[in-house]
Amino acid sequence: MLLCVLLTSFWARAEQRVAVLELTGDRRDAVRKQLERSLQAKGSDVIKGKLYATRARRLGFRGREAHTDAAIVALSRELGLAATVRGAVSGRALTVEVVSASGSMLGTESYPLKKGRLSKKDAFRAADAILTTLHEAATEVVPQESVEPAEPVASMSQDAAPLPPAKADARASSGVPSPKPTATADARASSGVPSPRPTATADARVSSGAPPPKPTAKVAAAPVEDVALVKAPSPVVGPRWVSVRLGGATTFRSYCAGPGIRSCGQLESQPEAERPERSLLFGTPSPYSGFSAGLDAFPLALLGDTALKGLGVTAELSRRWTQVSIQGGGPGGTASAVDTYGSLFGTYRLYFPLSFTATPLPAFVGLRAGGISHAFEVAEEYQALFPKTGRTHAAVGLDVSVTLARLARLEAGFLYFIRPQPGREQKDRYGPEVSSSGFGLEAGVGGELVGPLEYSVRYRFQKYADTFSGAGTEWTGGGISQERYSGLNWTLGASF
């Protein structure tokens, strides 16, 4: 008896063997660990995430591929899983999906979160729902129609069957009366309905003395019901309500200005002796570095999964120092300079799952509009030759991001500068009327490290072009200037 109890207990635990996969957006696996502990407390055999990931790599499933239906089917056979739990955390909500060993969706549920965690009550409620879904799927039986006995092949009763001649003579000689016809027979006789003749099979059975056949059960096939397929909901994704970044910026810069030329390439191709007077080539022979800081705030994300969760602000400030070489119509040499950049944007990001793979990838497309201030100022002793190139202007842009894995998030952006005109000093020197244009490009990678910590590495390119006209203090017939920045911004940050 004890052995039977132990075997039954082992079988019950094996039937409830589940794995909880990494939840999208779950920082430090806090919610995942809560689900695992709650399932264990309910008597379920929970496979650890590290074991699942190790077996997945052996079978050729890496990263998010281990969350696909095909991977779940293969690993369910490998680990003896009855079901696999996957889902996503976004804002104040947890979405859970229960997938069977055959890869079919058994059910989905959503639970509220507080400070990125489930309450104790909701954790056990989620575990109960998972195990109930699994139990119902395992014990589901298609209902059948009731079993009705078939009519006997021979409808004549045994008493009404004719006796063999020998037995009939014995009844007559012994004075035993013959059996009376049954009520059914009387009814048939009175109504004039002829009695049914026994079939050949019945005659053979009667003549041989074999007992009549037992009624057979007629079982009707159960009707096949149309069961609506449950479509797995897309993972809930969204921004963190605040992100802070600190790091560095490494930049190359070039600047050219000259009267009566069409492009900086024309000025660079001319020998120094043939270049126009009051022309200037200004460049950094090596990249220069400094600090960079950024802030993203999406306070409406605290309201949960709403359409306004992607509305927020982004800000950035960086300051870099360099030694630059100066060539042109004036004293050459090397000068120290300071490069200061600041931006403030309002933004709206539309978050959605990108269904390129079986497991959707969190992504967003965002629009932003705001202002940029960018100034490059050389040392005071060189300002007579080269004026400060300060600009403050409006800009609009587009941002996109796709999360491929926890450590790999692709990012890209484009900015269009609106009237990025140079400062008063350049207008006084080169011409009072100026037409300016510019744009910026960004591309990079980012991802989550440990807990709330994140990293980001971005390449940034910005270009300004100015066309001056009118008489200035140095140029009398106008000219052009161009300014370019390119480099890397690398930061570490924390998101909450």
Q: At what angle do helices 49-58 and 69-79 cross, to 10 degrees?
A: 100
Instruction: Please report, for the chain, the start and end positions of each structural domain, with discontinuous segments joined by +.
Output: 2-139, 242-495
Architecture of domain 242-495: Beta Barrel (2.40)
pLDDT of residue 306: 86
- Topology of domain 2-139 in CATH is Rossmann fold (3.40.50)
In the predicted model, residues of the chain with pLDDT beneath 50 are: 1-14, 141-208, 210, 214-236, 329-330
pLDDT (0 to 100) of residue 335: 75
Q: Compute the distance between CA of residue 377 and CA of residue 337 in angstroms, rounded to an integer.
A: 6
pLDDT for position 211:
53
3-state secondary structure 87-149: EEEECCEEEEEEEECCCCEEEEEEEECECCECCHHHHHHHHHHHHHHHHHHHHCCCCCCCCEE
Of 466, 388, 477, whose CA–CA distance to 421 is shortest? 466
CA–CA distance, 264 with 327 (Å, rounded to integer): 14
What is this structure's pTM? 0.59
